[in-house]
A and B are shown apart, each in its own frame.
Chain A
Amino acid sequence: MPHIEAVDVSKSFGGVHALQGASFGASRGEVHALVGENGAGKSTLIKILSGLLRLDRGQLRLDGQDVRIDRPVAAERLGIGTVFQELTLLPHMTVAENLLLRREPRGRFGLIRPRELTRRAAQQLRDLGLGEISVDAIVSALPLAQRQLVEVAKVVSRDPAILLLDEPTSALAEREVAWLFDLIRRLRDQGRTIVFTSHRWNEVRDISDQITIFRNGQRVGTFGAADIDESRAVELMTGRHVSAIFPPLPPLGPATPVLEVRGLASGRVHEVDFTLHRGEILGIGGLQGQGQRDLFFALFGAQRLRGGVIAIQGHPVAIRHPRDAIRAGVGIALVPEDRKSEGLLLPMSVRQNMTLPVLAGLSRMGYVDLRRETQTVGRMIQQLRIRTPGPDQVVGALSGGNQQKVLIGRWLLAEARILLLYDVTRGVDVATKHDIYDLVMTLRAEGRAILYYSSDTAEMAHLCHRVLVMREGRVVTELRNPEITADALVRASLRLGGGISA
């Protein structure tokens, strides 16, 4: 008998069917992965099981007993703990206050005891092996990965019999993923049931006992982890045959430098030198948080430079503002990981988002030439395979991967020659990832130069001509195409190069 079970569950939002008669069950003491494309219904199912959403039809069961889970508190009482994809930490409270929210230690007259609260929270973090996170820190000041760890710690410390994790690894680097998987295995061995979702097949394969595949709001099948391989799983998820995960990478032609960076310093980046060539995909590797983000944002003018020279085709340029980066003659564009806050205007249409920087070129005497705009945008939608009902669709309603494509489309219209792609596939479903890989190859073939960072090591290994591995803000190793493997990348990232590491 399954420990937790959803039978024939349906849920719609407006006219969109997120779940249509989907069933799912996980047995006691197993790690059960839920996989599927974005919009397949995984997150919706998790939200229903955790009481954040109410189901329209269907039944939930716990150990064979019908249960109602209509509020988060109801799930908590039934021993269900959830780590949501969108974190539920309170940003301006401390780590300690978050960890023990609503379970604060009380003293006389039922008043909260602040010191005891801090002490107990610190103990909990130490017990979970997270002692390096300060319990007095304000959550919003922590890096995303640490926030994710705190969220996991918060839920696990409530001692749930069933642990649901929605994309817990998307913000984590290898080392933290290893920590999480360790924890998951320990919890499983204690007889707890773990359900989790992930877009990274390696992780699904490594950690799960059972794998359930969802497509279009329905279950396609449940398999033992040993009984299914990646290509079969992708086929079931997408409903079509996907030939290879990564497209082949053609070798680089004659090396024509496009972007030269010398002695760049900004934020955590110190003294970085590199040259990016026409048609090249240059990876920036390393563990998460080694200054990669600062490097990308500095090149785009979104972060102040402390020093160094940036030259485009041999001419030094001053980039103090994104305006400087995207103007003609420079043509540097950034596609960041967090589209919501850094780039797209979500309530506006695909058309408006794409043509924003080039409106002047599409206008005549101050009026936008709508026909030309429509043609241009339509062409882009086709070329990038953006899945949208039309150019006037609101961007916020598109899936994450398609939002990325809209942003890439904008920069292509703005004739960017150098694209800074920062973790663009994070949290993006398999099929769209595939489109993005193809797109990167096309852009490369057109002679654009691409600087690429991804938290997915496999991607770095397969997509890049060269990878510069960063550690503590400096480039420590350069790997070239045949020698770039996931294994080599991880080793280069971790190798201790003397200095501050202890």
Chain B
Amino acid sequence: MNAVTLTRLAARDRLRHYALRNASLLLSYLVLATMGLYYVAYAGSHGQLSVFSVTSIFNNTMPLLIAAIGQTFVVLTGGIDLSVGSIISLTNSVAAVYMRDSLGGILAWSGLILLLGGVAGAVNGILVAVGRIQPILVTLASLSIWAGVALFVLPQPGGAIPPGFTAVLAGNAWSVIPASAVTLGVLIVFWMVFRRTELAVSLYAVGDDERSARANGVPVVWAKVAAYTLSGLFSALAGLYLSAVTTSGDATTGAIYTLTSIAAVVLGGVSLFGGRGSATGSMAGAFVLTLIVNILFFANVNPLLQEFFQGLVLILAMAASVLVNLFFGRST
């Protein structure tokens, strides 16, 4: 065998291993591509495809997508974050009550809100990693706490979000490109860079096998605290985005994001046992969940059945993921 053949064999070997390892992730891309094409074809043939409709899909997806990235950090460590929805509600309420239409005010309050989310996440992380309490208990408790605080901040839906804030996050650049699409690009780049940091390796290691990670000197406590902190930070960012998109405040508006962020993560092929998956999959999952709603809307399906179909898609996607893994001969 000559060197070229060997290199080619090695490349094929690498490709095979990659496909095996990322079967669920690739499947989520495939599902998204199929749904995206279907949507474009359907909307196009009905004259519904416009800058506006595409922008609105991006805008509607963005809060969920950001929350799903946050959820991914935690799920990768083998944990779960139920407080995502409450932190979104809280940050949305705070933004609606306090944010005023001045550049300084917007920047200061955005920074404060992100800090708030980060601190809320860090508290979760410390209780889980240092206090050794089950993630589901810790975050269930903080879910209630932050939901309560949100209602205290904004007892009635209302308040207002500065139009400038909305224009920047949910508008269009050069009146064509959705600002949300730019944000999405930034988030993808962020993830690709993050994936190559020491912290990312630690997150995957902890979720894969905590005992082994510890024996290899991986800073387990730090990794977990960082994961929950990032989750809180991203939840706050999702809350800001939601504020920009909805332009008003509601202390209960975030509640659905707890479960939908988990659904997006699962649809994206991230293992709930930890250690496997990618935030880009979760992003795809978030888009799939939004597109389902749009497609159902186009198809004139009773809106009351929306959640039913969302659940159905979730189950089908999971079944497909199991089948793909079986097909590749290894579900471990």
Contact = CB atoms under 8 A, between A and B. Distances in A.
Contacts of B209: 88, 90-91
Interface string B185-201: 00000000100111001
Given A93-B204, A136-B14, A102 B216 contact: yes
Interface in A44-91: 52, 71-73, 76, 84, 86-91
Contacts of A101: 201, 205, 216, 218
B17 A138 contact: yes
Contacts, number: 80
Interface in A80-122: 84, 86-94, 97, 101-102, 104, 110-114, 118
A84 B215 contact: yes
A442 interface: no
Given A88-B211, A90-B205, A91-B209, A111 B193 contact: yes
Interface of B: 13-14, 17-18, 20-21, 193, 196-198, 201, 204-205, 208-209, 211-218, 275-276, 330, 332
Interface residues of A, number: 31
Ordered nearest first, which 8 A-B pairs have the shortest CB separation?
A88-B215, A88-B212, A111-B196, A136-B17, A73-B217, A90-B208, A112-B196, A136-B14
A397 interface: no
Residue with the greatest number of chain B CB neighbours at <10 A, chosen from A52, A84, A89, A111: A111
Interface of A: 52, 71-73, 76, 84, 86-94, 97, 101-102, 104, 110-114, 118, 134, 136-138, 140-141
12 contacts: A89-B212, A90-B213, A90-B275, A92-B332, A94-B17, A101-B201, A101-B205, A102-B198, A102-B201, A134-B13, A134-B17, A140-B330
Contacts of B20: 138, 141
Interface SS of B by simple majority: helix
Contacts of B13: 134, 136
Contacts of A104: 198, 201
Nearest to A134: B13
Nearest to B330: A141
Nearest to A138: B21
Given A138-B17, A138-B21, A140-B332, A92 B217 contact: no
Contact of B276 (A87, A92, A102): A92
Contacts of B18: 136
Nearest to B17: A136
Nearest to B275: A92
A179 to B, nearest CB: 23
A140 B21 CA distance: 11
Contacts of B201: 97, 101-102, 104, 112
